[in-house]
Amino acid sequence: MNAFLWLLAIIALIVGLIYGISVIVAAVRVRNLAAATVTAAVLVAMLGVTLGLRFAPLSLGFAIVVALGSARWLRALTRNASHASELTRLSATHLALLIGSFMFMVPFAWLLSTSLKADDEQAVFPPVWIPTQQKTIDALKQPDGKPAKLSKLANGTLVAEVEELPDGRIKTQPMLSETAPDPSGTQTTLTRAELTKVRHIAPKWDNYAEALAYLPPDTHYGLTFLGNTLFLTMMSVLGTLLASSMVAYSFARLSWPGRNILFGVLLATMMVPGAVTLMPQFLIFRSLGWIDTLKPLWVPAFFGSAFNIFMLRQFFLSIPGELEDAAKIDGCGPFGVYWRVMLPQVKPALAAIAIMAVMGAWNNFQGPLIYLSSPEHMPLAYGLQLYQQQHGGEPGLLMAASTMVVMPIIVLFFFTQRYFIEGVSLTGLGGR
């Protein structure tokens, strides 16, 4: 736990230093020497306390951030009262967002930490955040290479019997004196003492290899689950983008009888809980003979989604009609206008929908649970449930398997979040 506190303190210290230097530079630019001096003094004092290690590291880190934030607010107050009020509001907002972000990051940090722990650290309290392993201590060797057995004891000295195990490890048994040592240092009574475990930071990466090794061989050690998931993801994304964009274009740019009424009915379906349509869908797929196949998991994507249609319709409405008219003059039909003119204009919305479709298909657990029963058809989400039933008593392996399942989708969202935010934020700019 102390290592985790130190990690937080180091991060807070770095943030505080960068923040403090920026405050000093800004204060010097506006010739506010008082604020620059106060901030510099706070920096020097906090660095001195840090080097002296006089306070708890976590409290120290937060003290740095709070002190420097107060210095920046003081500098703004000396310049402009309204600016100080705005800065105070923004600081409070960002502080709340940082606290919320930290709370959301804790479960993922625990998942990653547990996946790298040794077995003896899984159920300890207080919990260990940074994985460690017992350190191997090299024993003294005799000239012939054999382990040395220490038998002499000086006053107050701890001695140990060292033995090399068959697997190559070194076994060290400390011994303590029960009687005062003989002045010659050769006669004393020794008893075995408990060995103090020396640990160092060492993630157990073998958990990931063992987690893969425990997967059923008939699934090619999880490759079958991965292949099914990739297939479902690609088909779901393709069907969602094509169907939703076509229907949205029709509602937004084409005129036909009953368009607005049907669009209202479509929006009304968003108010129907999914549990209401669950049984009818199951009966339909059973009558089609699709139970225990992948079709119920990707075919519905080619019928569109009410939310995606609504979002794309708003984008299509925001596109100037002159582009559509120019394309029609050049000889484009309705499909040509849709494919060549309209789709390139709604790329942010398409990217946002694609990201949501990928996450939905990748993490889908309810669908496979209802429609699938054969292991060769299961995706990763349901395969992870089976893994939990078999190896739930081994948290390290279970968390390692969970990390491998969720990591691709997290990395994807990390690199595409800009498109997702842009697509969602621009929705609703147009309307008719």
The string of pLDDT tens digits covering residues 405-425 is 888 888 888 787 777 777 666
Q: Which residue, chain included where needed, has tokens 């003119």? A: 341
Q: Residue 330 to residues 253, 317, 321, 341, 422: CA-CA distances in angstroms?
A: 18, 21, 14, 12, 31
Q: For domain 212-425, give its CATH number from 3.40.50.1980, 3.40.1550.10, 3.40.50.720, 1.10.3720.10.
A: 1.10.3720.10
- The closest of 291, 279, 297 to 240, measured between CA atoms, is 297
Q: How far apart are CA 32 and CA 6, in angstroms?
A: 34
> Residue 173: beta bridge partners?
161
Q: Determine the distance from the C-alpha atom of residue 344 to the mean position of all C-alpha atoms in its chain, rounded to a whole number.
A: 32
Within 8 A by CB and 6+ apart from 164, the residues are 139, 147, 170, 171
User: pLDDT value at position 410?
Assistant: 84
Phi and psi at residue 163, to the nearest 5° = -140, 140
Tallying the residues shown for the chain, one arrives at 432
pLDDT at 8: 62
Answer for the pair 117, 3: CB distance below 8 angstroms, yes or no.
Answer: no
What are the start-end ranges of the E strands in 339-422?
Answer: none
Q: How far apart are CA 242 and CA 338, in angstroms?
A: 11
Q: Where are the domains of the chain?
A: 2-121, 136-197, 212-425
Closest CA to 249 of 349, 343, 355, 357: 343
Percent helix, percent strand, percent coil in the chain, to nearest 5: 65, 5, 25
CA separation (Å) from 365 to 88, 241, 304, 386, 403? 44, 22, 20, 12, 16
Query: Which parts of the chain sit beneath pLDDT 70?
Result: 1-20, 22-23, 25-27, 29-36, 43, 45-89, 91-92, 95, 133-201, 391-393, 423-432
CA distances, 296 to each of 222, 263, 278, 366, 402 (Å) = 22, 25, 12, 12, 25
Determine whether 43 is exposed, middle or buried from the number of CB atoms within 10 Å of its CB (0-12, 13-18, 19+).
buried
pLDDT of amino acid 186: 45
pLDDT value, residue 98: 74
* Cβ-contact 343, 350 below 8 angstroms: yes
Name 58's Cβ contacts closer than 8 Å, sequence gap at least 6.
5, 8, 9, 12
Amino acid 262: pLDDT: 93
Helix (H, G, I), strand (E, B) or coil at 390: helix
Structure tokens at 105: 């990051």
Contacts of 30 (CB under 8 A, 6+ apart): 79
Dist. CA 417–CA 355, nearest whole Å: 9
Phi, psi of 330, rounded to the nearest 5 degrees? -75, 0
Give SS3 for 327.
helix
What is the tens place of the pLDDT at every residue in 372-397? 888 888 888 888 887 777 766 678 88
| Residue 147, Cβ density class (10 Å: 0-12 exposed, 13-18 middle, ≥19 buried) | middle
3-state DSSP assignment of residue 137: coil
